[in-house]
Amino acid sequence: MTPLLGKTLEELQALAEELGQKRFVGKQIANWLYSKHVTAVEAMTNLSAMARQRLAASYEVGCSAPVEAMRSVDGTVKYLYRTSQGHYIESVYIPDGKRATLCVSSQVGCKMGCAFCMTGRQGFNSQLSVSDILNQIYSLPERDTLTNVVFMGQGEPFDNLDNVLRATSVLTAEWGYKWSPKRITVSTVGLAKGLQRFLRESQCHLAVSLHHPIPSDRATMMPAERAMSIEHVVRELEDYEPFRKRRRGMVGGADMSGQRRLSFEYIVFKNLNDSRQHADALLRLLANLDCRVNLIRFHEIPGSPFCGVDDESMLRFRDYLTQHGLFTTIRASRGQDIYAACGLLTTARQEAEQKEEASMKA
């Protein structure tokens, strides 16, 4: 069965005509999907019985509830979803006062191989379809409380950019979820093939996974550096006028409300990227960009050679950057007790169990 979830209004209108219906039926289907969140074609009651019968013969909504939920002491919830191909992905719901953010995945596993990331250790299994991406929102129990979505879960969004852009289009379209693109942030390690296209075709916020300001050292932690240097990424961003630093009273992203935001994610590792020299290199690298830096605590993973820094070191690093004109924050660590924090998402166990079960049946 083909999922309806993720189809555009134009595609749904064309589908209606294929079923012998008027084009406006496509708009009705879009309303049932993206405004009313039905779970079955039969629930689309303003379609004729014949239209529903023909639609249900080949199509389904394409949604499925989480198969597992883990709740943190801090209120964070990690959900496990099964994809249309039978794989598993994790999403993280993060409530914070009046804000509620969902961290969504774009791939099963990841090709980037970052040394400090559990998903990278899992390796790559498959791309998520548009319906698989959107289902993480569509079937979320807390869906109606969401204020923001961040593509910072499993996978590299720019390595599945077609489907990520289609998903964000559904979220922001008038016929879709009607969200402002400012409620959505897409993260990347800096893939050349996707950066310019994302800047052209989307108005969502951009977050670059930086983690080290010196290219040679970054390459030892992040293999993607060898394909596209962080210095090249920064030059590409400097050529994009909305991200170019402006001559004004407030600097470094401190006055970016209401416009597209650029941020850099920076996990702080003890004795690797936490010195004054690293801070100065970061200041030089980002000197011409109107951006902010989000410092992230490292969450240790089994067998990892990396170590995080203490709170005093985090504050000292942040204050030095801020004092020198680079707007910097420390991201609150959430869901660490359920392996939901940054860098800890993995479905390797579920994938292994699935393969073992399949081999036993063979």
By the 8 A CB rule, do 107 and 159 touch? yes
- Taking the alpha carbons at both ends of the chain, their separation in whole angstroms is 25
State the Cα angle at 18 between 13 and 24, rounded to 5°. 30
- How distant is the alpha carbon of residue 156 from its chain centre? 8
Bridge pairing between strands 205-209 and 107-109: unpaired
Rounded distance, CA 97 to CA 353, Å? 37
Judged on CB neighbours under 10 Å (0-12, 13-18, 19+), 318 is: buried
Tokens linked to 314: 């985090």
Rounded distance, CA 38 to CA 42, Å? 9
Distances (CA, A) of 113 to 91, 219, 352: 20, 11, 19
Contacts of 35 (CB under 8 A, 6+ apart): none
| Catalytic sites, residue numbers | 90, 342
How many helices, marked H, and strands, marked E, lie in the chain? Answer: 13, 14
